[in-house]
Amino acid sequence: MARCGVGMRSRSAACRFWVVGLLAAVALSGCVRGRDDGHGKAHAASTHRDASPSRLIITGSSTLAPLVAEIARRFEQLHPDVRIEVQTGGSSRGIRDVSTGAADIAMVSRDLDESERDLTAIPIARDGVCLLIHKNNPVTSLTDEQVIGIYTGKIRHWEEVGGLPQPIVVVSKAAGRATLEVFCQYFRLREDQIRADIIIGDNQEGLKAVANHTGAIGYVSLGAAEYEAQRGLPIKLLPSRGVPATTDRLADGSFPISRTLNLVTRGEPSGWASRFISYCCSEHVHDLVEAFFFVPVVR
Amino acid sequence: MIWWKRSSSSLLSVRGCRRFVDRLLGGAGLLSALLGASLVIWMLGFVLVESWPALQQIGPLRFLTDTAWYPTLGRFGMWPMVVATVVVTIGSVVVTTPVALGSAVYLRFYAPPVLAGLYRRVLWVLAGVPSVVYGWWGITALVPMIGRFSPFGFGHSLLAGVLVLSIMTLPLAALTVDTALGAVPRDYLAAAAALGLGRRAVAWQVAVPLAWRGVLAGVLLQTARAIGETMAVLMVCGNVVQLPVSLFAPVRLLTANIALEMGYATQLHRSALFVSGLWLLVLAAVLVWAAQRLERECT
């Protein structure tokens, strides 16, 4: 009997907890929504800008954002009276924000097209993607058609492209990764045409997967692959259209699987935007560019 | 106690003081309970709010009916990941439970005390090893080993996931079962022995059935950990979104899906990842419900 009574009491107490907890949760989630839902930042930020003129808002590509954020931190240390906000949301969002004036600078990880003539693009770095196989794989090069065949599942054995009699283990990247985008764009593949055996997240996992399987083929950021290969990881970087996969070839623009990472403004940049962009192009940030496995653009 | 007796002359003030302390402790308890409850509800609310755009624009049904997961191309089939999560979890429970039960029974009834103490300490250490370490071991030792037997030529697979999870959850499960067996009153065991039952009968027919609830708790604890595990399965499962057709086929689990794509997902893709989180919550809820049903039927 007594036990029953205790049970009832604790139940009503528990009930009270939940009601109060629910109220708290509603209030808290209200806060979260009010603050930001991840995509509406630029509009809130643009009102800030009016209040304080030395504030730069940069939005766009998630490939560039980490690098630009690091550069911005350094720039802010040099110029304490300017605040830089870096937000992601994709290249298209960057272009939209710059066109509407919601952002001062857009980060765009592709070249501008015809309809975007009113904008100015300044390249700050190049990003390359190279194919890699295991070091013990005797294959030394693959044509673009062979790569497409392998990645769409039409070529399944290394013998078919002049290698050893073993199955090909296709390593690809998870959706949303910039490397996957560059790869698909260059080989004119759609993401859903790729038949992968192993899907990996970052470059390190890709390098590891290829180093662990003699039959594997993968693609990662060229800078990262070159760095690891020099440090003795058993991988081989494949040339593309006869051009060896090296950061030098990427820097001089001859390596084909690459893209330019741009900062974009409406019209010619001026004021702080102009100063920040020249800083991004200067030698002071080359160490940061290389730390993100990009290649600095030398003008 | 002595202090309480000595100061009984000022009974009233002591009572007042005790009441005050009681209230203070009660208040602190209420506050921490509230905090706990509201955090859980906040998180639930957050996941719901974040996944709302996807549920609204894509529709909850399409997460089940879409044939594939290409979020950037507008295809959101999540069913294979749900199935893979359930299969890997059940697989690890099926592997772990008998081993945990066996090792706990050995510890309690067969092992010499010195060895039992040592073994228990080893289990505690193993239970505290971070999952990324198990993942690392899995990818460097287990995956290549499976690769040698696999008909596909590589080891990233459902089997690797099941084995890594089993090894991860085993120590905690064995310890919980061991504690449950230790809680069986000694009188019962002594009585059983006095009735002439052998060690095997005492262990398996008296102690284990009596400790059944504790055993169940151990199994559920490991199931919950297995469902929530991310890093290890991300590293060894291969992450290809497909129904688990073979033990050697790569699969992607819901947790790995979030971890793989979170950093790079924007807009609807990001929201769809929160739907993965929602699925995990549903699975956890089903687990709790099943546990309660089981417990009621057992008692």
Block mean pLDDT (10 aa), chain A, length 299: 39 48 46 38 42 77 86 92 86 86 89 82 90 91 92 91 89 84 89 89 85 90 87 91 88 86 88 91 89 81
Alpha-carbon gap, residue A62 to A127, rounded angstroms: 13
Question: In this predicted model, which residue has the larger pLDDT, A55 or B11?
Answer: A55
Residues of A with CB below 8 A from B260's CB?
174, 199, 201
Q: What average pLDDT does this structure show over B126-139?
A: 88
Provide φ and ψ at B95, rounded to 5°. Answer: -75, -45
- Mean predicted lDDT score pLDDT of chain B: 86
The verdict on a CB contact (< 8 Å) between B34 and A17 is yes
pLDDT tens readout for residues B168-188: 989 989 999 999 998 888 899
Nearest beta carbon to residue B264 from set A20, A62, A192: A62
Residues of B with CB below 8 A from A93's CB?
266
Token pair listed for B267: 């807009």
In the prediction, which pLDDT does B232 show?
A: 87
Token pair listed for A111: 């070249």
C-beta atoms surrounding B184 within 10 Å? 18
Length of chain A: 299
- Is some CB atom of chain A closer than 8 A to the CB atom of B261? yes
- Is some CB atom of chain A closer than 8 A to the CB atom of B252? yes
pLDDT tens readout for residues B268-294: 888 889 999 998 988 888 888 887 887
Residues of B with CB below 8 A from A38's CB?
270
For B:96-155, CB contacts with A below 8 A are: 139-140, 143-144, 147, 152-154
Alpha-carbon gap, residue B299 to B297, rounded angstroms: 6
Residues 6 or more apart whose Cβ sits within 8 Å of residue A207: A132, A218, A220, A224, A225, A228, A233, A235
In the prediction, which pLDDT does A53 show?
A: 55
The verdict on a CB contact (< 8 Å) between B144 and A90 is no
Q: Which residue has the tokens 């439970």?
A: B97
Helix (H, G, I), strand (E, B) or coil at A137: coil
Residue A35 in contact with residue B49, Cβ under 8 Å? no
In the prediction, which pLDDT does A109 show?
A: 83
Alpha-carbon gap, residue B94 to A168, rounded angstroms: 33
In the prediction, which pLDDT does A43 show?
A: 43
Calculate how close chain B gets to A35, using CA atoms only, in Å: 13
> What is the pTM assigned to this prediction?
0.74
Residue A48 in contact with residue A19, Cβ under 8 Å? no
pLDDT tens readout for residues B69-102: 888 888 888 889 999 999 999 999 999 999 999 9
Token pair listed for A168: 């090909």
| B67, closest residue in chain A (CA to CA) | A192
Residues 6 or more apart whose Cβ sits within 8 Å of residue A156: A167, A168
Alpha-carbon gap, residue B158 to B95, rounded angstroms: 13
Calculate how close chain A gets to B148, using CA atoms only, in Å: 11
The verdict on a CB contact (< 8 Å) between A215 and B153 is yes
